[in-house]
Amino acid sequence: MADAKKNTFSAHARAATATGLLALSLGFTPAYAHDELVSTNPAADTTLEQAPSELELTYSGDIMDVAGANQVRVTNAAGETVTEGEPEVDRTVVTQDLATQETGDTYTVTWRVVSSDGHPIQGTFTYTVGAGAAQSTEPVASEETEEQQTQPAEPLTVASQGMSTGAKVALFLAAAAAMMGAAFVILAKTKKRK
């Protein structure tokens, strides 16, 4: 009698495991979302009295500190770069040193960083120092929506990062399918013995 109950419990446990694996293999897995830019200092589309000595970008998740992958470029209305050195990453904050900037100019910030999920994201915004530039040589996209400002870029392949998220999901699904198959075989053998 105890053996019958034990076998019934074991069969139920295997069935529950198989059901859970089936749910996972059908796509009930956690969703992965790219991080996004949540704030900037100086703030986007603002006018400052004094030029900042650095630019600070804050994101919704930790930014991966991959050599050469994170880039911040600040240019004046004439297209001249005013960034100095490489950006520094400290968890969710990316800081870029800036050279001396002229008063009475509009600056365009173009950034590209590696999101915590391993995918690059990018965007652009402007700020003005003093009265701003009389005429920009390039059209400034200051009316972009938040969705346009934080766009996923092409996936970055970095060997040191290990497997991509897609490869991990595919491997997980393959393992789940194999385990589910094994669970069904065990259940079938259990039924044949009864």
What's the mean pLDDT when you consider all of the chain? 74
What three-state secondary structure class fits 35? coil
**What angle (nearest 5°) sits at the alpha carbon of residue 59, between those of residues 32 and 47?**
145
Residue 155, preceding bond cis, omega within 30 degrees? no
Q: What is the pLDDT of residue 132?
A: 64
pLDDT exceeds cutoff 70 at 158:
no
Percentage of the chain exceeding pLDDT 70: 51
CB atoms under 10 Å from CB of 64, counted, come to: 20
Q: In this predicted model, what pLDDT tens digit does every residue of 58-116 receive, in sequence order?
A: 999 999 998 889 999 999 999 999 999 999 999 999 999 999 888 889 999 999 999 98
Average pLDDT over residues 12-26: 55
Closest by CA to 74, choosing from 59, 60, 56, is 56
Query: What φ, ψ does residue 127 adopt, rounded to 5°?
Result: -145, 160
For the chain, the domains span 2-31+164-193, 37-149
Q: What is the pTM of this model?
A: 0.55
Q: In this predicted model, what pLDDT tens digit does every residue of 130-145 receive, in sequence order?
A: 876 554 444 444 344 4
CATH of span 37-149: 2.60.40.1220
Q: What is the pLDDT of residue 186?
A: 67
What are the DSSP E strand ranges found in 81-140? 83-90, 93-98, 105-114, 120-129
Q: How far apart are CA 13 and CA 136, in angstroms?
A: 69
Q: In this predicted model, what pLDDT tens digit does every residue of 144-157 receive, in sequence order?
A: 444 445 554 444 44
Q: Is 130 left (phi over 0), alpha (psi -120 to 50) or beta?
A: left
CB atoms under 10 Å from CB of 39, counted, come to: 12
